[in-house]
Amino acid sequence: MSRRRLFRLPWRTPRQIRSDVDEELSFHVDMRIDALIALGKSPDEARAQTVREFGDLEDARRYMGAVDNDIEAAQRRSELMIDLKQDLVYALRKLRAAPGFTITAIVTLALGIGANTAIFSVVNNVLLKPLPFPAADHLVRIQFTQRGQGDAGTPPDLADYRALARSFEGFSTIEGATSNLVRPGADAERVPGVRVSANFFALLRIQPLHGRFFREGEDAVGAATVVVLSEQLWRRSFGAEPKVVGTTVRINAGTFTIIGIAPAARRYPLTSELWTPRAFTPADLSDQTRGARWLSMLGRVKDGVAVDRAGEEITRISEQLEQRFPEVFRMRRARAVPIQDFTVGDLRKPLYVILAAVGFVLLIACANVANLLLVRASTREGELAIRTALGAGRARLIRQLMTESMVLAVLGAAAGVLLARLGMHAILQLAPPNLRLVTTATIDATALAVTACVALVTGIVFGVLPATQVSRGEVVVALRSGGRGARGRHTATRTKRAIVVAEVALAVTLLTGAGLMLRSFGRLTAVDPGFRPEGVLSTKMLLPGRAYDSPKLRTFAAALEQRLANLPSVQSAALADYIPFDNGSYGFTYQIVGRPPIRPSDLPNTETRSITPRYFETMGIPMVDGRGIEPSDVATSEPVAVVSRSLVRATFSSESPIGKLINIQWGNDSLPRRIVGVVDDVRSFSLGDPPDPIAYVPMTQVPTTAVSIVVRTAGAPSVLANPVRQIVRELDRDLPVYGVLTMEQRIADSVGRQRFYATLIGIFAAVALALAAIGLYGVIAYAVTQRKHELGVRVALGATSTRISRMVVTEGVALTAAGVVLGLGGALATSGIIANLLYGVTARDPLTFGGVALVLGAVAALASYLPARRAARVDPLEAMRGD
Amino acid sequence: MDLLQGTLDVLVLRTLSWGPMHGYAVSRSIRQRTDGVLEIEDAPLYKSLHRLERAGCIEAEWGISENNRRARYYTLTAAGRRQFKSEENAWRRYAEAVFKVLEPA
């Protein structure tokens, strides 16, 4: 360090540097001229010679100025670094000297920052990162609606869009086809997969890990059966052996050649384990199939074409098709949805709401630490005054205090990242499956960078207020009052109170949101599903169609039901093609025989279930009218159906449905069936949606390849899992049993997403409440300490201890009341955002709002009661002597 | 005779190794010691001084000259002294090598 720096001389401005250079040069010139004159030269000669000897003066002047500017800047930098190092060392020393304060601040910040890091990581993974395909934003799913209701595509649609859409590179069908996979010498395995067109992988633009993907024409009828396996399946079940490419496996009783392995990180759909080509027969593609909607489509927009434009084209084509087929396509529209939205679209809003919630938590944490710093700063007035007296400027003091804040923020962020890593695992445990799929419990570079920014901003937010407030102090006053500083007390107190009011308000807003979500979740889970789920175990199987033609299916079903019923502890057992709270089951249009004909696109819809006689008894679905399915309903007897109440409501106004004929249009079996009974409604997919109409038919009359087992027991249903598996294995070794779950689990899973949101927001609201309570306590407790003298005087003048504590509590409650009012206002203004995430509660539910106010009031009373008790015990003599 | 590139810095360092002096004094001293054989202009000399200051080889400070005027005095730093030693050695080896070639065999 130069001497100049040692004494902290002021910096030279560029102008001063210029004048210094000029002075140095003119000194030289004057000296030289004088010397030459002394040697006997005339002044003119002397000047001329000096100039000659000097050379390019202007160049030298410029150069010297530039170099000096460099020197100055370098010195400035090095001095800043030295200051920073000093500040850091000093800050660390100061923080270590007050471990209570430091730990409180770091833990508070870690909670705030950690929650943000964890949730941001999830949001980043799920919503911000594109799916891992080249130009993934140009991949779309085609979504159909008819009369505003969700609809699907048909094989002719695929052909139409391929022919008509010019902004697309191509379209592929994508059809869920969970399959039974059998490898030589191993148990059958149930594997999620899809059936796709041959161009599927070309549209995704991905390369196989081994082997190849489908070739053109491999999705033609009669082409060799080939399959692509996922890397995961290949590693798990095929020992990651590249030579399996070219070998065969059995899938649903067919033999398939493995042609390639799809890389793990680039699967679509995200759960798929195997891909097989989907062939369409001419019959599939005929116009007659336009009524049966089940097909899904993936498309890739051509490079250079805007996705919005391509979407408009899709909608235009759907309008053209409506005109061509008005009977079936009336008011049917198609639109293109980017695959990212298609996959995670329903997660977007809840995740942003949760991100906002953790933002609130962070703000509250900042407020708390700011208050801690203010309290601490007022105890440091003496120290700061001395430093000012010794020559530290205000900027220098602010820099010092900000360094302390930054150190706290960085330490808090470091602890927060650790916390976030732990938290991520817990969060993903709770997460609904589609969220778990697209995210991993890792905090990547982006999340870390964001955390660093958050920490920086946090440090500024909570540090700047205390720093500017403290440095405003007047040295003399502070010094004279022996470091206890009389000045600015009021401003500081007012600031602290404002901060507390703000954090209470934030906590109230967040708590209200959480309250609404929790109440909504409570309402949702209280909904009666329409059957008695307790004591019922369910499992699923898919019988390979090729191995089980209808008579065989009937025998199988009969044998299975018989053996299940013979299990000890089983009260009743039944089979059904689909069961409630499971994916599956289709809607079919139906007509009541003898009614005037209805236009095809206006026909009512019903779900259907193929069941065995004891299904209603096993599931606990009450009969309302007529009879159920009986053992006497066999393949050869009259076709019958039992319908649900909502089907009756939709189709029969007052007349009894019993004895009427219903014609369910499921293609090959479109014969009229006699309605013999009515059962109560059952919710099929979610507790939140109203029950759909269902028509139940005997499995003996309508055999299906999808078979679910339901068994009811008096005890814990899960103990039946192994016996049921054993029975199925005895009947058919190649048949994997999957989805072994109690009905209660199925219902719980169906509200998993809501539970996830409610739990997360609930946790963050609890943290916010705790932080706000701590903040409130801190301010009141500090105020009591500061007012010890005054309180002492009051006690000496006869104030009772009740009166003193009431005074203190009143102050706390008043602050809280202000915060609650502001917070409820904030909640009223913002709760509309989550309105469509709520079930059975309005976004302005008075009970929730009132409850939150009460909780806050109670917490505030407690937070101020503790300091109040201390205030009431003030010994007047000691309090006044201590001054 | 023209000055080889970088030579001036060595001469300045050598000159300042006798003690702090201002730019004019450095100029006069070099001029005297080379007996006018080297045509050294003052402009490059001053540029050299400031360059050496930036490099940390010398430090500058305002002082009062022998005729009572404000003058900028330069002092060799420890780093400057090291720099001079190494450059001086390099110069001597260089000059010896050149002489060896020039000596009649």
Q: Which residue of B has its CA nearest to A49?
A: B41
A319 in the same domain as A355: no
Task: With a cut of 90, say whether residue B38 has pLDDT above it.
Answer: no
Q: Are residues A196 and A47 in the same domain?
A: no
CB contact under 8 A, B50 and A68: yes
Q: End-to-end CA distance of chain A, in Å?
A: 46
Angle subtended at Cα A754 by Cα A750 and Cα A757, rounded to the nearest 5 degrees: 145
Residues 20-59 of B with CB under 8 A from A: 22-24, 27-28, 41-44, 46-47, 50-51, 53-54, 59
Nearest chain A CA: its distance from B97 CA (Å): 32
Interface contact A1, partner B, CB < 8 A: no
Chain B residues within 8 A of A27 when measuring between CB atoms: 22-24, 65, 69-72
- Whether residues A673 and A756 share a domain: the answer is no
- Residues in A closer than 8 angstroms to B23, CB to CB, are 24, 27-28
Nearest Cα residue in chain B from A74: B54
- In B, which residues are within 8 Å of A4 by CB distance? 61
Of A20, A31, A55, nearest to B41 by CB-CB distance is A55
Q: Looking at the domain assignment, is residue A109 inside a domain? A: no
Picking from A51, A68, A84, the residue at the C-terminal end of a domain is: A84
Q: Which of A2, A3, A27 minimises the CB distance to B69? A: A27
The answer to the question of residue A249 being in a domain is: yes
Residues A355 and A296 in one domain: no
A67·B50 Cβ contact <8 A? yes
pLDDT at A472: 63
Which of B46, B58, B77 is the mutation pick for testing A, counting most A CBs within 10 A? B46
User: A55, B44: Cβ pair inside 8 Å?
Assistant: yes
* A190 plus A61 within the same structural domain: no
B chain contacts of residue A30, beta-carbon cutoff 8 Å: 69
Question: At how many degrees (to 10) do helices A99-123 and A394-430 cross?
Answer: 50
**Shared domain check, A369 and A255:** no
Cα–Cα distances (Å) from A118 to A125, A341, A415, A417, A864, in that order, read 11, 22, 12, 8, 33
Chain A residue numbers touching B44 (CB-CB < 8 A): 55, 60
d(CA A55, CA A49): 10
Q: Which residues of B touch A64 (CB under 8 A)?
A: 46-47, 50
DSSP helix/strand/coil, A170: strand
SS3 labels along A767-793: HHHHHHHHHHHHHHHHHHHHCHHHHHH
The DSSP secondary-structure symbol of A127 reads I
- Amino acid identity for residue A709 in this structure: I
A590 and A725 within one domain: yes
Nearest to A28 among B23, B51, B59 (CB): B23
Tell me if A64 and B54 make a contact (CB, 8 A cut-off): no
Kindly tell me the sign of the dihedral angle through the C-alpha atoms of A378, A384, A388, A393: negative
Q: Are the beta carbons of A32 and B24 separated by less than 8 Å?
A: yes
Residue A471's H or E segment, with its range, is: helix A445-471
Instruction: Tell whether A875 is within 8 A of chain B (Cβ).
Output: no
How far apart CA A185 and CA A243 sit, in angstroms, is 17
Predicted confidence at residue A823, as pLDDT, reads 92
Confidence at residue A487, expressed as pLDDT on a 0 to 100 scale: 43
Residues of chain B contacting A22 with CB distance shorter than 8 Å? none
Whether A55 has its CB under 8 Å from any CB of chain B: the answer is yes
Query: How far B105 CA sits from the closest chain A CA (Å)?
Result: 41
Within an 8 Å CB–CB cutoff, is residue B100 touching chain A?
no
* A2, A24, A55 ranked by CB distance to B72: nearest: A24
**Are the beta carbons of A24 and B46 separated by less than 8 Å?**
yes
**Does residue A540 lie in a domain region?**
no
Q: Does B96 touch chain A (CB under 8 A)?
A: no
The token duo for A546 is: 């090729």
Number of Cβ within 10 Å of residue A193's Cβ equals: 24
Put simply, the answer to whether A27 touches B24 (Cβ < 8 Å) is: yes
Q: Which helix (H) or strand (E) holds A19?
A: helix A14-38
Distance from C-alpha of A717 to C-alpha of A723, rounded to nearest angstrom: 11
Interface test with B, best of A67, A68, A69, A70 (most B CBs within 10 A): A67
**Buried-state track A504-537, b at ≥16 Cβ within 10 A, e below 16:** bbbbbbbbbbbbbbbbbbeebeebebbbbbebbb
CATH number for the domain that contains residue B90: 1.10.10.10
pTM for this entry: 0.73
Residue A739 lies in a domain: no
Same domain, A592 and A519: no
Residue B41 covered by a domain: yes
For A766-820, write each residue's pLDDT tens digit. Answer: 888 888 888 888 888 888 877 777 888 888 888 888 888 888 888 888 888 999 9
Q: How far is A391 from chain B (nearest CA, A)?
A: 24
Closest CA to A139 of A273, A231, A230, A268: A268
B residues 52-91 lying closer than 8 A (beta carbon) to A: 53-54, 59, 61, 65, 67, 69-72
Q: Is the pLDDT of residue B46 over 90?
A: yes
Determine which of B29, B32, B34, B42 to mutate to test the interface with A (most A C-beta atoms within 10 Å).
B42
Counting the structural domains of chain B, the total is: 1
Within 10 A of A496 (CB to CB), how many other CB atoms are there?
24
Give the A:B interface size as CB pairs under 8 Å.
Answer: 67
Q: What type of residue sits at position A160? A: D
**Cβ(A776)–Cβ(A500) below 8 Å:** yes
What pLDDT score does A854 carry? 92
Query: Which residue in B42, B61, B67 is closest to A55 by CB distance?
Result: B42
Secondary structure, 3-state, A329-362: HCCEEEEEEEHHHHHHHHHHHHHHHHHHHHHHHH
Residues A497/A503/A509/A515 CA torsion (nearest 10 deg): -110
ipTM exceeding the 0.95 mark = no
Q: Which of chain A's residues have a Cβ under 8 Å away from the Cβ of B27?
A: 28
Among A61, A84, A107, which residue terminates a domain?
A: A84
Please indicate whether, in this complex, the C-beta atoms of A57 and B43 are within 8 angstroms of each other. yes
H-helix or E-strand spanning residue A277:
strand A274-277
pLDDT for residue A471: 60
For A131-225, strand residue ranges (E) read 139-146, 149-151, 168-176, 179-182, 189-191, 193-196, 210-211
* Residue B2 within a domain: no
Does one domain contain both A406 and A317? no
Q: How far is A94 from chain B (nearest CA, A)?
A: 35
**Domains of chain A: total:** 4
Using one digit for the tens of pLDDT, what is the confidence trace for A430-449?
777 766 666 666 778 888 88
Structural domain containing residue A77: 3-84
Locate the chain B residue with the closest alpha carbon to A35.
Answer: B28
Give pLDDT, residue A602: 77
Q: Which of A733, A763, A784 is the last residue of a domain?
A: A733
Single-letter amino acid code for the residue at A565: A
A869 located within any domain: yes
Nearest residue of chain A to residue B31 (CA atoms): A53
Q: Does A25 touch chain B (CB under 8 A)?
A: yes
Note whether A473 and A556 are same-domain residues: no
Contact A76, A12 (CB under 8 A): no
Residues 6+ apart with CB under 8 A from B100: none
What is the DSSP annotation of B21-89?
EEHHHHHHHHHHHTTT-S---HHHHHHHHHHHHHTTSEEEEEEE-TTS-EEEEEEE-HHHHHHHHHHHH
Q: What is the largest CA-CA distance in chain A?
A: 143
Is A309 contained in some domain? yes
Residue A111: inside a domain: no
The pLDDT assigned to A680 comes to 95
Which has the closest alpha carbon to A681: A710, A629, A643, A655? A643
CA of B102 vs chain A CAs: smallest distance (Å): 32
**Do residues A107 and A427 make contact, with C-beta atoms less than 8 angstroms apart?**
no
Q: Is A602 on the interface with B (CB under 8 A)?
A: no
Is residue B56 in some structural domain?
yes
| From A3, A59, A71, residue closest to B53, measured CB to CB | A71
Taking contacts as CB-CB distances below 8 angstroms, the residues of chain B near A59 are 43
Q: Do A55 and B43 touch (CB under 8 A)?
A: yes
SS3 A641: strand
Q: Which residues pair with A262 in a beta bridge?
A: A230
Q: Provide the angle, in degrees to the nearest 10, between the axes of the packed helices A381-389 and A445-471.
A: 80
Phi, psi values for residue A263, rounded to 5°: -60, 140
pLDDT, residue A311, reads: 93
Taking the CB of residue A265, how many other CB atoms lie within 10 A of it? 9
Percent of chain A with pLDDT over 90: 31
Within this chain, do residues A477 and A575 fall inside the same structural domain, yes or no? no
The answer to whether residue B1 is domain-embedded is no
Domain that holds residue B94: 7-102
Distance from CA of B80 to the nearest CA of A (A): 14
How many Å apart are CA A630 and CA A640, to the nearest integer?
10
Q: How far apart are CA A393 and CA A83, in angstroms?
A: 13
- A55 lies in the same domain as A161: no
Cα separation of A189 and B95, whole Å? Answer: 88
Q: How far is A439 from chain B (nearest CA, A)?
A: 54
Which residues of chain A carry a pLDDT beneath 50? 1, 482-488, 883
Is the four-CA dihedral A626, A628, A630, A634 of positive or negative sign?
positive
Extended strands (E) in A543-666 = 570-576, 587-592, 605-611, 623-626, 640-644, 661-664
CB contact under 8 A, B59 and A2: yes
DSSP A834: G
